[in-house]
């Protein structure tokens, strides 16, 4: 039954699940291949997904969603040491005398040869290594021994398939390190802004999704509203164009957590003050500068730690999530929790902003109306 069920709805599993999960229909669900009614009211369906946004809202409403976080790097290391290496070694007929893995070798595989939330590809790569060593054992004899380390792992697996984004070498103007969440874990995301001569145009590149493009527009509106506090004239945008770019343009990027990163990059480029290279940040921004909560905190901070960043700026609303962070993050990183964008700029910029005194021409004070009626009584 389930074979035909899957085959019939292969191109639209969501439609099938919508029907079988509806309590008004699942007691008489009809298999269109056998033309037989089935009672599915007591059947439990378990489905897995990497992302939620591809699941129709109507189907999500009929499901109980359990969110399982991906394994951390340290958790993957322990799983490999205790289970995966032993399993693959036995399947290839090797003994502990024939092959051994150092912790650095396993970490090298995790970082540069796999990119996943689980350990399926990690197990596949370990099995690949075991088979290559088994071939050497067959050729050289049962006493052949191979110790796999970070230095020689590339001889068996070839050139690294993945690389982590690197932190820029020095603090620069308009260059900010943000933190991003992906389906396979966290990563650092560099945001850069260039100021050009122009007429107030904002150009956004880097294959950003709709949410991130809106974040960029909101960040610019915040900067314009706080122009004098940032040391800018009220009309600064009339003579410049701004180009905001997130590198690695071939990779689509989206999500509501880059607002403060973009606002910091814009403020730095316009005020000509460098941003600290040793600090990362994540959080969304409102037009009034309030910093909003984000998701994927653990994965983002682990990415910062891998990149050698030990200080991060986070929304105050995420302070409650610290209890769920691994101990190595709590001990190694300095976390700043903020409510307002002003606090972000104070922490991220290498020198404080110098506010401009309001000029008379920039004053928003109301001007008394001129009486041009010759003191005629006003109309009621």
Closest CA to 16 of 36, 52, 49, 40: 40
- 331 is annotated as an active-site residue: no
User: Of 253, 257, 268, 290, which residue is the catalytic one?
Assistant: 257
Q: Which residues contact 197 (CB under 8 A, 6 or more apart)?
A: 239, 240, 241
Query: For the range 357-364, what are the long-range contacts, defined as Cβ-Cβ under 8 Å and sequence gap of 24 or more?
Result: 358/228, 362/228, 362/233, 362/234
* β-bridge mates for residue 101, sequence order: 148
309 phi, psi to nearest 5 deg: -105, 125
Closest CA to 191 of 127, 260, 99: 260
Handedness of CA 15, 16, 18, 23 (dihedral sign): positive
Looking up tokens 């991130």 gives 212
302 phi, psi to nearest 5 deg: -65, -35
- 86 is annotated as an active-site residue: no
Known catalytic residues are 257, 300
């Amino acid at each position: 039954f389930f074979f035909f069920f899957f085959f019939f709805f292969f191109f639209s599993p969501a439609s099938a699940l919508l029907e079988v999960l509806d309590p008004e229909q699942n007691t008489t669900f009809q298999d269109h291949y056998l033309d037989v009614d089935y009672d599915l009211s007591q059947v439990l369906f378990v489905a897995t997904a990497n992302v939620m946004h591809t699941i129709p809202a109507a189907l999500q409403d009929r499901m109980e969603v359990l969110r399982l976080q991906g394994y951390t790097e340290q958790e993957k290391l322990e799983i490999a040491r205790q289970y995966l290496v032993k399993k693959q070694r036995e399947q290839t007929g090797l003994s502990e005398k024939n092959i051994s893995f150092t912790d650095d070798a396993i970490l090298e595989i995790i970082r540069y040869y796999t990119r996943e939330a689980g350990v399926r590809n990690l197990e596949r790569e370990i099995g690949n290594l075991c088979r290559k060593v088994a071939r050497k054992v067959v050729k050289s004899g049962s006493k052949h021994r191979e110790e796999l380390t970070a230095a020689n792992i590339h001889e068996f697996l070839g050139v690294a398939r993945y690389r982590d984004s690197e932190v820029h070498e020095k603090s620069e103007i308009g260059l900010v390190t943000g933190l991003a969440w992906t389906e396979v874990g966290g990563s650092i995301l560099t945001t850069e802004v260039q100021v050009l001569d122009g007429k107030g145009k904002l150009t956004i590149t880097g294959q950003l999704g709709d949410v991130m493009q809106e974040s960029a527009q909101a960040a610019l509106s915040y900067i314009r509203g706080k122009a004098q506090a940032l040391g800018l004239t009220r009309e600064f945008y009339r003579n410049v164009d701004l180009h905001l770019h997130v590198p690695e343009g071939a990779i689509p990027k989206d999500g509501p957590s880059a607002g403060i990163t973009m606002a910091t990059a814009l403020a730095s480029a316009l005020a000509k003050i460098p941003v600290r290279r040793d600090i990362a940040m994540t959080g969304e921004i409102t037009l009034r500068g309030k910093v909003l909560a984000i998701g994927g905190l653990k994965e983002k901070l682990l990415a910062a730690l891998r990149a050698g960043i030990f200080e991060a700026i986070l929304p105050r609303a995420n302070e409650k999530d610290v209890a769920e962070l691994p101990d190595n993050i709590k001990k190694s990183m300095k976390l700043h929790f903020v409510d307002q964008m002003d606090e972000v700029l104070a922490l991220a910029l290498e020198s404080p902003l110098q506010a401009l005194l309001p000029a008379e021409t920039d004053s928003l004070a109301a001007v008394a109306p001129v009486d041009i009626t010759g003191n005629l009584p006003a109309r009621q």
